Amino acid sequence: MNPRPLFVSNAIPYVNARPHLGFALETVFADVIARHARLRGRPVCFAGGTDENSLKNALAAEQAGVSTAELVERNAAAFQALGPALDLSQDVFVRTSVDPRHRESALELWRRCERRGDLYRARYRGLYCVGCEAFRDAEEGRCPEHDAPLEPIDEENWFFRLSRYESVVRACIERITPSFARAELLSLLDRGLRDVSVSRDARRARGTGIPVPGDPGQVIYVWFDALAVYLAGAGDRWASSERVHVVGKGVVRFHAALWPAILASAGLPLPDRILVHGYLTVDGKKISKSGVSVDPFALVDRFGTDAVRHALVRHVSTTRDGDLDAQRIEAARTADLANGLGNLIGRVTKLVDQGCDGRAPVLGEAADEHDHELVAAVRALPPRIDAAVDRFALDAASAAIFEVVGVANRYVDRTTPWVAGRGRESRLGLLVHALRIVAHELTPFLPATAAAISARVGERVRHGPPLFPRNG
């Protein structure tokens, strides 16, 4: 076990609209990482929040005919409500427009870079994508990420000497990013890092943002601002923890290039790992707040929290784009949770209730090849999960649990423990043991389900209604 405490965060979202399922995917991934570390005995700080100092939010408010403060407050509340809806175990939630911890972190980060001599004023002429909140080099004046027109900008801003930190950024990319994300990032370095604008004209920003110290006509650039949220969330734990960011592939360049350079300038420790996930799609189209959108609250209301969590983790590739819709969630709930896990729980608890009067049988020695197969599968489960989580393959970790469920269901079929006779109690004892291990290892993935299973297979085994009733 890694002895260091863990700080894990997801990227904070703009609040120009309500949450969509793509953001739910990222927060559930980060939650699994956090819960798994806690399960293995590590102190954990899991931080989230909302990115509220953004021109995107101000423009969305104008379009909706409400004040920026009203829109931000309403949508930020929806993002906070996603925590209990998805059973997230966040320790810290930072709203960047109202949390004093964040404002001080952003200002302190700015002052540190300024003292280092890495901030200066200069004129910028270029094309700006409001969707990315970034200047972009793109052909034909369109953003390749958002397929939207770019806005020509000509103004004087504060710049950060990113070019000074090329060696730091290169080493960071090679050390902390997954291999599939490195090629594009390293190609940026091969073209040479240029200094970047890290402030915006306050009027063009519609008054949103934290004013630049000593220059109230400028506000701190939203990405410089937003990255500082990790320091606000971690507090004094930043330096002592293993620092892990869970982010989508669309924002990895900010986390793997700009963020390490800013931290190096400020004299602060760099991230240890950046875990990059793919996009969630519906019929091959990327889910987004402004395009194809799927409401996670509606899915939770329809299928339940753990059914949604299960579909996101088990049936979407952790690191590649994956397609998901209501039909797929229903299919996963039926096949894996009702027919697989739920069926196993019902069979075992009923057999123990009827054959052992609810008393949990003692685990005996493996007697035949069927016993040995189940014992081996159960014994191998924790290290398999550890290895998969460590390489950020949460889908593989979840699959390992349901493979054991499959082995246990086959064991019931093959050994017929409903037939009284020699070895019956020993086999039921092995099945109860298997369910206890499954429940324990399932905790990071489906916390409520894991707790319900544990309650049914304690010292007394309780048979009850199905955890996942079949529809129809």
Cα–Cα distance, 467 to 50 (Å, whole number): 34
Q: Does pLDDT of 244 surpass 90?
A: yes
Degrees, nearest 5: CA angle 399-456-400: 10
pLDDT score recorded for residue 363: 84
Q: 459: left (phi > 0), else alpha (psi -120 to 50), else beta? A: alpha
Residues constituting the chain: 472
Cα–Cα distance, 431 to 408 (Å, whole number): 7
Reported confidence tier of residue 188, pLDDT bands at 50, 70, 90 = confident
- The domains found in the chain, sorted by start residue, are 6-277 (3.40.50.620), 325-456 (1.10.730.10)
Reduce the DSSP state of residue 334 to 3 states and report it. Answer: helix
pLDDT score recorded for residue 420: 79
Place of tokens 């890290």: 198
Look up residue 153 and give its amino acid. I
252 or 288, which is more confident? 252
Q: Locate the DSSP E strands across 278-351.
A: 280-282, 285-286, 322-323
Exposed/middle/buried for residue 139 (C-beta within 10 Å: 0-12, 13-18, 19+) = exposed
Confirm if 255 and 249 have CB atoms less than 8 A apart: no
pLDDT score recorded for residue 141: 64
Q: Does pLDDT of 247 surpass 50?
A: yes
At residue 47, what are phi and psi to the nearest 5 degrees?
Answer: -115, 140
Sign of the Cα torsion 73, 76, 82, 83 reads negative
Cα–Cα distance, 146 to 56 (Å, whole number): 13
Cα–Cα distance, 29 to 23 (Å, whole number): 10
Q: Does pLDDT of 406 surpass 50?
A: yes
Write out pLDDT tens, residues 289-336: 656 779 999 999 999 999 999 999 999 999 999 999 999 999 999 999
Mean pLDDT of the residues in the chain = 92
